[in-house]
Homo-oligomer: A and B are copies of this chain.
Amino acid sequence: MRLSDAIEQFIKTMLTQDEQEIELKRNELAEYFNCAPSQINYVLATRFTPDHGYLIESRRGGGGYIRIFRMEQDTSEQLLYMLHERIGDSVDALCASHLIQQLEERELATAAEAALMLAAIGPQALSLPLPPDMKDALRARILKSMLLEIARRGREPKL
């Protein structure tokens, strides 16, 4: 079996054991598998991307870590993921506001959160002198970044 596959399995096993989130040390894992630390990055980059349903968070320095979150495939995270796809590399303001509205209607975000998101991608926020297509690209990134954050947290928009 390929090393990458073995590491992938190892991580997925850790994740399926009731936990939805795991934390690991890159160097420890690399040593365990007797490989270069960067191999871990390779596995994460090729098998644990948002498109695969995972989110990564890490920190360097003493006490550093890598955290891997699994998105719920069945429930609304899937929807978020689809929205994520739909946005692509560029969205205009109208489309973005519609998406945010949908989030609120489906109770994936509170009204307050939806308002915040609108504020983040509104004309005020993006009023720098940039070409319009650049703004759409920027809006897409901001929105996707926020959607991923919503996907990361569990399922309680709590009103």
Contacts and interface: CB of A to CB of B under 8 A. Distances in A.
A153 interface: yes
* Oligomer copy total: 2
> Is the contact region of chain A dominated by helix, strand, or loop, or is it mixed?
helix
Given A1-B63, A62-B2, A116-B113, A126 B149 contact: no
A9 to B, nearest CB: 14
A128 B124 contact: no
A150 B146 CA distance: 17
Interface residues of A, number: 37
Interface of A: 1-2, 5, 62-63, 110, 112-113, 115-122, 124-128, 134, 137-138, 141-142, 144-146, 148-150, 152-153, 157-159
